[in-house]
Structure 1
């Protein structure tokens, strides 16, 4: 069975990527979709937080991430496509690249523009970085 990674951040572009897969369900039949959402690592400055506070922020970020993956799962319900959802924390392009390897994915299907407009201006889009960091084809959905 082949695996397909679909990063999802609730943006219009990410929703179109999920819809692309749904509209071409025959092409993805027999494959497993790995729907992921990556939240930024909590940035802590100084020593003002205890480990339990940091752990609580981490759990909150995972819970927030699960809201995104639940939205993607709702789109996929009833399509007959097999999928799993995963919530991750870290640098999105790096985590996507790790997930490609961990889930043995042969393809990444993702939107071209995510939720972070400022980040795109400062350091290039997540999609651009993913293209350079993964060793598998990346299908970008506009």
Structure 2
């Protein structure tokens, strides 16, 4: 049995990774897919936001993450894949790596926008950071 983490942010590249996963899973047999959407915590300056308002902002972000995940989860289920969705608040790379470890994933399949080496050098890339941080195989889909 294969347990695959699919980081999903609703982008075209993430959807391409999901579509590739559907095709790829036909060769793998029994597959469980964990769809993960990580929302970064709001960056606040000053003391203008109450704890209640901060909780509402976080809850809204997690609701949005659930909506994004639902779109791809339905497509994966239609392809007869076992799917679980996860919505997480935090720093994207560390949360993805941690989720893969906690969920016992054997592989991460994720999309990449293909910015190239200069773009990655200047801006960094979630995909390249995940590749370096996780001990499991990462399949990148352009």
TM over 0.5: yes
Query: What CA RMSD, in Å, does the superposition of the two structures yield over aligned residues?
Result: 1.8
Deviation by residue 1:10-64 (Cα, 9 ceiling, x = unmatched): 1111111100111123234312100011111111222221111110001000011
| 2:59 matched residue in structure 1 | 59
Equivalenced residue count is: 138
Q: Unpaired runs of 5+ in structure 2?
A: none
Give 1:121 shift.
Answer: 7.2
TM-score by length of 1: 0.89
Q: Unpaired runs of 5+ in structure 1?
A: none
Change in Cα spacing, 1:16 to 1:104, as seen in structure 2 (3 Å) is same
Runs of 4+ residues deviating >6 angstroms: none
| 2:12 matched residue in structure 1 | 12
TM-score by length of 2: 0.89
Task: State the distance in 1 between where 2:126 and 2:92 align.
Answer: 7
Give 1:120 shift.
Answer: 5.7
| 1:93 matched residue in structure 2 | 93
| 2:45 matched residue in structure 1 | 45
Is 1:80 equivalent to 2:67 in the alignment? Answer: no
1:77 is paired with a residue of what secondary structure?
Answer: helix
